[in-house]
């Protein structure tokens, strides 16, 4: 059994496919906002599993519920009923304000499910000619890694050498309702979008976009499908990011935090006139809706219903934004904040996002870069004000060091 970080890294690089480029830290345990590596060093986790860890590592309430269910019943398949699934479906329907839910496991599976439901609704309810249904998507999107989903990605790294791709997904500029309206035709069944584009660097749409899109979809009789896998369940300072404009989509896509960071749980939620198109045998999942997933998911819903985490995201997000604004012009060229979720654009002439994350790692903070010179910050919603300040101090120190090195380099030039 390996013991040191170097041994673990060597083993991973030798036997695991290289589909990630991790920072050189090997984590062993976690509690709340903090994780500890195999040498005993502690780090403030400001990635939070891409929002899967909204409630932090090993939240005692979630661990207790999962432990209780682990000792009782974990899997039945949906070939049989189980005593956890019905209450979970009821509670998630209530949280979303929808009639029904359809459970899966991962976010990508939930997106695929929403695509299938939208197409089937288009054929059976709207009357789109067979085999012609199309779904409008957005530039800069990230909805998962399946072949169909990357068919409408604009990220070359995600698509290279994976074709041929699935047709039927016209793509328009993110946040542009006029472009969406111009793309709608007789084949359009839905618009698939993220209320905030997380993977893109916490990209925010223009104010009013969600309201205008809601009106357009209603006017043109097409489904408004919101991918809230990252933005939902408290991260944006509201239960769902769509709540920021008082908008309810036709289909919610949920995942990540729905499993409390303990177990993969995802689902879509919609009214009966949409989800009613699903019939026995037309869609399924061996693990979707299993008792363990349902128990954990139901506890997550109960925690969200209290409203504490949404409020924490607002308060802590305001503190994070205020601190980040002091760094604009000091190595930071732009910031975007929604709840406790920030995208930070760096001066690419100073350092890359990867280099900044490496500097944060040296200072005991974990973060993730995206698209070259941008990093994303998403501390768990259980963070304290002091922990937000630790993040800000580490970020400021890393930028100061980079600027100092740049100044020294320029002075050394003849």
Over the chain, what is the mean pLDDT?
A: 97
Structure confidence at residue 324 (pLDDT): 98
First to last CA, the chain: 53
Q: What is the pLDDT of residues 52-62, one digit of tens each?
A: 999 999 999 99
Q: Does residue 131 contact residue 187 with C-beta atoms inside 8 Å?
A: no
Which pTM was predicted? 0.97
CATH number, position 316: 3.90.1150.10
pLDDT at 1 over 90: no
pLDDT at 411 over 90: no
Q: Which among 305, 324, 354 is the end of a domain? A: 305
Could you tell me if residue 67 is inside a domain?
A: no
Q: Which among 252, 283, 305 is the end of a domain? A: 305
Number of domains in the chain: 2
User: Which residues, 6 or more positions from 204, have their beta carbon under 8 angstroms from its beta carbon?
Assistant: 196, 336, 338
Choose between 4 and 1: higher pLDDT: 4
> Could you give the CA distance from residue 121 to residue 196 in angstroms, rounded to a whole number?
26
- Catalytic positions are 142, 227, 256
Same domain for 249 and 358, yes or no, is: no
Query: 27 by DSSP, 3-state: which?
Result: strand
Structure confidence at residue 407 (pLDDT): 82
CATH number, position 213: 3.40.640.10
Q: What is the pLDDT of residues 300-320, one digit of tens each?
A: 999 999 999 999 999 999 999
Same domain for 313 and 293, yes or no, is: no
Same domain for 227 and 149, yes or no, is: yes
> Could you give the CA distance from residue 38 to residue 123 in angstroms, rounded to a whole number?
54
Range of the domain at 248: 73-305
Average pLDDT for residues 185-210, to the nearest whole number?
98
> Could you give the CA distance from residue 382 to residue 228 in angstroms, rounded to a whole number?
20
């Amino acid at each position: 059994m390996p013991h040191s970080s170097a041994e673990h890294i060597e083993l991973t690089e030798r036997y695991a496919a290289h589909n990630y480029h991790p920072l050189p830290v090997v984590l062993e345990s976690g509690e709340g906002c903090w994780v500890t590596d195999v040498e005993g060093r502690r780090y403030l986790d400001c990635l939070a599993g891409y929002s899967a860890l909204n409630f932090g590592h090993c939240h005692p309430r979630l661990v207790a519920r999962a432990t209780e269910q682990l000792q009782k019943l974990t899997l039945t398949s949906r070939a049989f009923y189980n005593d956890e699934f019905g209450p979970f479906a009821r509670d998630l329907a209530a949280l979303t304000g929808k009639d029904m839910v359809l459970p899966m496991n991962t976010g990508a599976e939930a997106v695929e499910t929403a695509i299938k439901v939208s197409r089937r609704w288009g054929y059976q309810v709207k009357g789109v000619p067979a085999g012609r249904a199309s779904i409008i998507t957005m530039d800069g999107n990230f909805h998962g890694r399946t072949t169909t989903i990357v068919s409408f990605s604009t990220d070359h790294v995600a698509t290279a050498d994976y074709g041929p791709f699935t047709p039927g997904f016209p793509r328009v500029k993110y946040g542009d309702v006029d472009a969406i309206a111009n793309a709608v035709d007789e084949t359009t069944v839905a618009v698939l979008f993220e209320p905030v584009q997380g993977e893109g660097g916490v990209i925010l749409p223009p104010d009013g976009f969600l309201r205008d899109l809601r009106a357009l979809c209603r006017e043109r009789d097409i489904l408004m499908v919101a991918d809230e896998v990252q933005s939902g369940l408290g991260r944006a300072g509201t239960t769902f990011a769509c709540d920021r404009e008082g908008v309810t989509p036709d289909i919610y896509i949920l995942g990540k935090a729905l499993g409390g960071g303990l177990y993969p749980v995802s689902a879509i939620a919609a009214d009966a006139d949409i989800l009613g198109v699903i019939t026995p045998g037309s869609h399924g999942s061996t693990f979707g809706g299993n008792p363990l997933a349902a128990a954990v998911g139901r506890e997550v819903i109960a925690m969200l219903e209290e409203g504490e985490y949404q409020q924490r995201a607002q308060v802590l997000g305001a503190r994070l934004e205020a601190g980040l604004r002091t760094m604009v012009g000091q190595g930071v060229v732009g910031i975007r904040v929604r709840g406790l979720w920030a995208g930070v654009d760096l001066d690419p002439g100073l350092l890359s996002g990867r280099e900044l994350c490496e500097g944060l790692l040296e200072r005991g903070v974990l973060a993730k870069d995206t698209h070259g010179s941008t990093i994303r910050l998403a501390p768990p919603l259980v963070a304290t004000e002091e922990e937000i300040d630790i993040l800000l101090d580490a970020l400021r120190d890393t930028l100061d060091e980079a600027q100092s090195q740049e100044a020294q380099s320029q002075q050394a030039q003849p």
